[in-house]
Each structure stands twice: as C-alpha cells, then as structure tokens.
Amino acid sequence: MAINKDILEVKIYYEDTDCGGVVYYANYLKYFERARTEFLEKRGVFLKELMDRGVYFVVVSAEVKYHSPGRFADTLIVESTVEEIGYASIIFRHRVRRKQTSELIVSGNVKIASVSGSMRPVRIPEEVLKVLQPGCVT
C-alpha cells in the first residue's frame, strides 16, 4: 500500500539526451535518486546528517519500465511514493510523466537499504520511520 506522495520537476537538457534527442535510459535512475532525496528532505531527513552518524542508504535493487521516450526540452514530473517499509529497507515507487501531456514515460521501483559504514544492514532510524507515516510532510 502506498503512503506519502511527492513530486519533483525535471527539465530535460541536451546533456540528458542521446544523439536523437531522447533521454538516455540510465538518466531515469538519476531522476529517481533526486526524487528520493527531495522526498526525504521535505520531511526533515537529511542524508548527510545520517551519514555523519554512520547510517547510509544504498540501492539494493531497481526495476525500470520504459513506456514512452522523454525528449529534449520536455519537463518531466517524477512522482514518488513509499510502497513498503521493512526493518532495514524502503521500497519507493517512481512514475515519470511528461508535464505538458501527463503521458507516462517511465515507471519503476527502487529498494534502498539502511546500512552501517561496514555495509551491514541496520535498523532504519526511528526519526526516519516516524516521518514516513501517511500524511507526514513538514
């Protein structure tokens, strides 16, 4: 069940595209990453602060489905929701739409894990869990 939703606008520059003016496929993973970071920061969770305490979030799996090409000069909307929260993991669902038409461009899921500096799983900090509850945006 999805909880909390957030959106991020991404303007597509020439550097984001291949020689045909189509968004290079791997860039969508970058947009997903930006969207997750913004999602957390809007809720008062700053990854740098967690890193300073020895807690890191790493991607453990990603699934991406390409529906339609994004193109140079498009503005894309990346919609992010938290789908599942575990002891040491969070699954985010991302949907990318063209702002101008709402056409679905890309969809995917990314599972991140909370780990220590030695890359061992650790419990997601309580303050992170608290802000991921439904309706929490600070």
Tell whether the model's pLDDT for residue 1 goes beyond 50. Answer: no
> What are the respective helix, strand and coil percentages of the chain, to the nearest 5?
20, 40, 35
Is 18 one of the annotated active-site residues of the chain?
A: yes
pLDDT digits (tens, 9 = 90+) for 127-138: 999 988 765 544
pLDDT digits (tens, 9 = 90+) for 42-85: 999 999 999 999 999 999 999 999 999 999 999 999 999 999 99
Residue 56 near residue 115 (C-beta atoms within 8 A): yes
pLDDT digits (tens, 9 = 90+) for 111-129: 999 999 999 999 999 999 9
| Complete domains list, the chain, with CATH | 3-128 (3.10.129.10)
pTM comes to 0.91
Strands 104-115 and 56-66: antiparallel
Q: Exactly one of 6, 18, 52, 74 is catalytic; name it.
A: 18
pLDDT of residue 133: 75
> Residue written as tokens 């780990």?
115
pLDDT of residue 134: 64
